[in-house]
Copies of this chain bind each other. A is one copy, B any other.
Amino acid sequence: MSFQKLDELGHRLEALEHAIAILGADEATHMAVGGGEKRAEALASLAGLYHRQATAPEIADWIAAAESEALNDDQAAALREFKRQHTNLTCLPADFVERQTAARLRCEQLWRDLRAKNDWAGFLPALEGVVALVREEAAMRAEALGLQTYDALMEQYDPGNRAAEIAPVFAKLKAFLKDFVPEALAVQEERLAKRPLKALSGSYAVEKQRELGLAMMAAVGFDLTHGSLSVSHHPFCGGVPSDVRITTRYRTGEFLSALMGVLHESGHALYEQNLPKEWSHWPLGKARGMAVHESQSLFVEKQVGRNPAFWRWALPVVERHLGEAWTLDDMLPHVHHVERGLIRVDADEVTYPLHVILRFELEQDIVAGRLEAADIPEAWDAGMRAYLGLSTIDNPADGPMQDVHWPGGAFGYFPSYTLGAMMAAQQWAALVKDHPAADADLAAGDLTAINGWRREKIWSQGSRWSTPELIERATGEKLEAGHFIRHLKQRYGRS
């Protein structure tokens, strides 16, 4: 039976994924500093091995044959995802992939060096090479999938997402934020005029912050028997569903950024830990995609972790671990701080979407050939001035050179961040409709019902549905900017 062969292939690929994921997490946490060269060799070799195994010529035959076999529902869904994975992996010729991998690695290495030197001119030729290849890639993926070029790139990260559906949602959000960012900043200024910010700075030993982080992880549902918290330079969620590795970084003078980072990564981890275990060796058993994944991290960080109700429970926990007592009025201005800034990863939830929408707009033009790499700085600057009133024309390092995505050839990924934020708000709204006591639960530190809802609606579904279908099934409606807008108004607006 051909499906059986795919099933066995799935087990072999799962083992390689396991190795690659743990070696990747280990590299950033526990590896000796001199171990990098051999680790890179090992990971490149394992990636090649994975690719050869996942694209062996007989697999297309197994998929074709399995389509006429008697399969149950789960198997039929698994077959669809095996096929999707296979198409994604085989639609680019091997020599193109090699050329592109080399160009991406070169451009990323150059970027690390030249971003620090704010040297756009030196970086441009490498980026132009990556852009040329991404246009080729988009054309080939579009041809294989019967999609528009930009959609074909997004399809890798979020199956089913289409620019034609996302653009109007983003347009509505952008129109709202045009007036709302100034409003939120004014509200904040008035509040601070009445009650000045109480600094949270003190001296917080790393070990105490770590214990606080572990307590928060446990509270939001992180299973500490199937995961751990370490330190790394850049926080991430890695590892495997049976052993999810999340990381943070600590500063002893301030605890909130590490803590919110832990909550964010815990959101990713919950998704991984609660994926359907019986499908773990099928593509069907994987998380659906990047936007949905981000919706899970932002659900925990923003909908839960910055919710005033949650802080009613959390303040005494913080006090127990750090030995300082703050009131809600002390804490919330920090948790809800809004600020116009140049750097996406430092942005708050009000201004963040504008960073993403700018990139989404530029990316589509770049992929379509309407915008050349050489013209990005001016287009970026124009966008930043229009959306956030900030200029980056003399500062490309904090403008179009700030992210690794483009040097790494990952076009079509950026929308996922803001789609995730909107999906999280929409999920919270749907959850509250089903379970009106959600805020009271948070205030009691009890996420049982909240996580039960998420397990049923999102986590247990794996990759059964396309991204838009999953959201519609979970929340009862298509993706809709209104929920996120209401969320921002309620938390940051002049209510």
Contact = CB atoms under 8 A, between A and B. Distances in A.
A441 interface: no
A58 to B, nearest CB: 16
Interface in A196-252: 223-228, 230, 240-244
Nearest to A227: B32
Contact of A45 (B11, B44, B228): B11
Interface in A1-49: 11-12, 14-16, 18-19, 22-23, 26, 29-35, 37-39, 41-46, 49
Contacts of A241: 38
Given A26-B22, A26-B26, A15 B32 contact: no
21 contacts: A11-B41, A12-B45, A15-B41, A15-B49, A16-B45, A16-B49, A18-B38, A18-B39, A19-B19, A19-B42, A19-B46, A22-B26, A30-B228, A32-B224, A32-B242, A32-B244, A34-B223, A34-B225, A37-B242, A38-B242, A38-B280
A226 to B, nearest CB: 4
Contacts of A18: 23, 38-39, 41-42
A421 to B, nearest CB: 29
A26 B39 CA distance: 14
Give the one of A46, A241, A242 with max B CB within 10 A. Answer: A242
Q: Chain A contact residues: over half helix, strand or loop, or mixed?
A: helix
Contacts of A35: 226, 240, 242-243
A229 to B, nearest CB: 10
Contacts of A43: 15
Given A12-B45, A42-B14, A243 B34 contact: yes
A43 B23 CA distance: 13
Contacts of A280: 38
Interface in A237-281: 240-244, 280
Give the one of A29, A45, A225 with max B CB within 10 A. Answer: A45
